[in-house]
């Protein structure tokens, strides 16, 4: 049994403390700008206090918890399969990205500001680009440099798509469409990796659970914008989207960590 390294957890915890602390300061000082109603279409009515949408804001703590759990597991290389440990630092980087989803999304729901909305979308770009870039790196047999180059290009591409300010059917914003497209790309490449001759083996139960969870979350995200909407309740469908999204992010990591050479699992 290998010894546990606390370095991944330390990085993720530092990311959580720094990003959450900056968000609290930004809310208090008004750094994110005025309330322009960004995120108001997700049912919850704006309150008069410093946190405009409390349920939709505090439910983002789920991402912080998921990121810390990922970091805790990343400290044990013997629990990361045969493939993920080859790319030093990527497990820790993913943990930090998942942590950042929480404060970034809360920035929008807490302030309903334009900048808060941009931070929310950026965090979504980061996690979707990570999933797509990690799948593409393994498909092409490249290394970490390739991962970071593709990752950066994908994030930049999402930002360009997000400049379109017209309404998009079903997903509302063009940035949401870019996010969904990258997740779909990641799923397609993962399936092709699985079917490739001589491929490493992954536990499909984790992959299926991650995919099923995010699809359920997306269904709730859509339905509760209009139906089953109680604007003044603290039980919000969009909060469920956050919590399920955090679960899906953790399950995706467990899928990656199950990858082994010649493993017939799943």
Contact 265, 200 (CB under 8 A): no
- The DSSP annotation for 241-256 comes to HHHHHHHHHHHHHHHH
**Binding site members for Zn(2+):** 109, 238, 242
**Binding site members:** 109, 238, 242
Q: Is 141 in a helix, a strand, or coil?
A: coil
DSSP 8-state class, residue 168? B
CA 123/CA 66 separation, integer angstroms: 15
CA-to-CA dists, residue 112 to 4, 27, 105, 183, 244, angstroms: 41, 11, 10, 26, 22
Pseudo-torsion of CA 81, 16, 18, 111, nearest 10°? 130
CA 228/CA 11 separation, integer angstroms: 39
CA-to-CA dists, residue 208 to 46, 93, 211, 254, angstroms: 36, 23, 5, 11
Contacts of 242 (CB under 8 A, 6+ apart): 56, 59, 60, 62, 63, 105
């Amino acid at each position: 049994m290998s010894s546990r390294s606390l370095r991944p957890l330390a990085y993720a915890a530092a990311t959580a403390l720094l990003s959450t602390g900056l968000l609290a300061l930004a809310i208090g000082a008004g750094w994110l700008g005025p309330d322009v109603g960004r995120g108001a279409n997700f049912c919850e009515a704006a309150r008069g206090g410093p946190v405009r949408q409390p349920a939709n804001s505090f439910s983002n703590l789920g991402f912080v918890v998921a990121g810390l759990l990922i970091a805790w597991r990343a400290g044990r290389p013997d629990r990361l399969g045969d493939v993920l440990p080859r790319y030093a630092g990527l497990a820790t980087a993913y943990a930090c990205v998942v942590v950042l989803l929480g404060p970034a999304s809360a920035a929008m729901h807490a302030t309903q500001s334009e900048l808060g909305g941009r931070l929310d979308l950026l965090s979504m770009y980061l996690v979707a680009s990570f999933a797509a870039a990690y799948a593409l790196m393994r498909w092409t047999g490249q290394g970490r440099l390739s991962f970071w180059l593709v990752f950066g290009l994908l994030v930049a591409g999402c930002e360009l798509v997000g400049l379109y300010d017209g309404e998009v059917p079903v997903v509302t914003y063009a940035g949401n469409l870019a996010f969904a497209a990258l997740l779909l790309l990641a799923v397609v490449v993962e399936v092709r990796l699985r079917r490739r001759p001589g491929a490493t083996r992954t536990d499909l139960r984790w992959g299926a659970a991650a995919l099923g969870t995010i699809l359920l979350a997306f269904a709730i995200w859509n339905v509760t914008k209009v139906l089953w909407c109680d604007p003044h309740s603290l039980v919000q469908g969009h909060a469920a989207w956050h919590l399920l999204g955090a679960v899906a992010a953790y399950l995706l990591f467990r899928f990656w960590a199950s990858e082994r050479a010649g493993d017939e699992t799943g």
